């Protein structure tokens, strides 16, 4: 059975002290709540080691929001997968549309990052999703299929089985405009079919596919009720304990 997962993506928000307080808040809330899914928080690099010290890793997973496409060396300002792993984080968000759009991350670069993450025992939360124009011109399924094929389909079955996918339609991220549950289900079922055709039914059934894009406590339950929606990647609503927990408890 594939895992149900709610993952926060804090993006470039909170200073270190605020981040530690938020992580503690989520951790405490999880201690007092019965949850039916895995919970992860994705935090800025600067926060990873300190946040790792204040959370119970058996209840709350820790993710970086990116890693470098090199292992080490003269890449001023970059943070490598081994560095991320050394903080105690066990997940890394890769291929977020903001990274693709603002920092020129191509499928070729992402392929390298995915490999480095896996070599360092980090579980990639790999993001895919179409822009509004692609939604409107009807090419969205093909666009997402190509994103998956280009960055992930050279992986062995064993390695692909470790990947968590996050479908995030770019037009829904931070816009307040959520995909409908039916739109999400259409895409998630399609993605599962693409995986099944390449790696077989068992791996496709095992792959957690999260939805992201203006997911909130008010719409999470409807999205998560869809058979192929295995949870959420949450931006804005992960920055407050109450709204994040409102989504976690939608399962
Ligand atoms: P949002 O962001 O929930 O603020 O729309 C989601 C994401 O970008 O991961």
pLDDT per residue as tens digits for the range 52-106: 999 999 999 999 999 999 999 999 999 999 999 999 999 999 999 999 999 999 9
Give pTM, 2 decimals: 0.98
Residue 24 has pLDDT above 90, yes or no: yes
Q: Give the residue whose CA is nearest to atom 3 of ligand 1.
A: 235
Residue that is written with structure tokens 């991220």 in the block: 173
Can you name the residues that pair with 94 across neighbouring β-strands? 126
Compute the chain's Rg from CA coordinates: 17
3-class SS of residue 125: strand
Q: In whole angstroms, what is the distance from residue 186 CA to residue 158 CA?
A: 26
- For residue 226, report the phi and psi dihedrals to the nearest 5 degrees: -75, 140
Catalytic residue ranges: 96, 168
Mean pLDDT across the stretch 205-225? 97
Q: Which one of 43, 98, 128, 235 would you pick to mutate in the ligand 1 pocket, going by the greatest count of ligand atoms within 8 A of its CB?
A: 235
Minimum-distance ligand 1 atom for the alpha carbon of 215 = 3
CA 68 to chain centre: 17
71 CB-side CA count, 13 A: 5
């Amino acid at each position: 059975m594939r895992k149900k997962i709610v993952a926060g993506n804090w993006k470039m928000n909170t200073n270190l002290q605020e981040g530690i307080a938020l992580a503690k808040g989520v951790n405490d809330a999880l201690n007092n709540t019965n949850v039916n899914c895995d919970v992860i928080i994705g935090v800025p690099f600067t926060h990873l080691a300190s946040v790792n010290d204040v959370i119970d890793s058996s209840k709350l997973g820790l993710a970086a929001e990116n890693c470098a496409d090199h292992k080490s060396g003269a890449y001023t300002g970059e943070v490598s997968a081994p560095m991320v792993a050394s903080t105690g984080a066990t997940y890394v968000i890769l291929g977020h549309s903001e990274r693709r759009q603002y920092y020129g991350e191509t499928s070729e670069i992402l392929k390298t990052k995915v490999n480095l993450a896996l070599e360092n025992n980090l579980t990639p939360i790999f993001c895919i999703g179409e822009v509004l124009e692609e939604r409107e011109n009807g090419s969205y399924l093909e666009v997402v299929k190509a994103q998956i094929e280009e960055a992930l389909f050279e992986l062995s079955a064993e390695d692909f089985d470790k990947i968590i996918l996050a479908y995030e339609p770019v037009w829904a991220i931070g816009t307040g405009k959520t995909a409908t549950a039916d739109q999400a289900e259409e895409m998630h079922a399609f993605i599962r079919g693409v995986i099944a055709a390449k790696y077989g039914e068992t791996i496709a059934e095992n792959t957690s596919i999260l939805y992201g894009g203006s997911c909130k406590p008010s719409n999470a339950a409807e999205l998560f009720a869809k058979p192929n929606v295995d949870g959420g990647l949450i931006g804005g609503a992960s920055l407050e304990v109450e709204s994040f927990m409102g989504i976690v408890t939608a399962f």
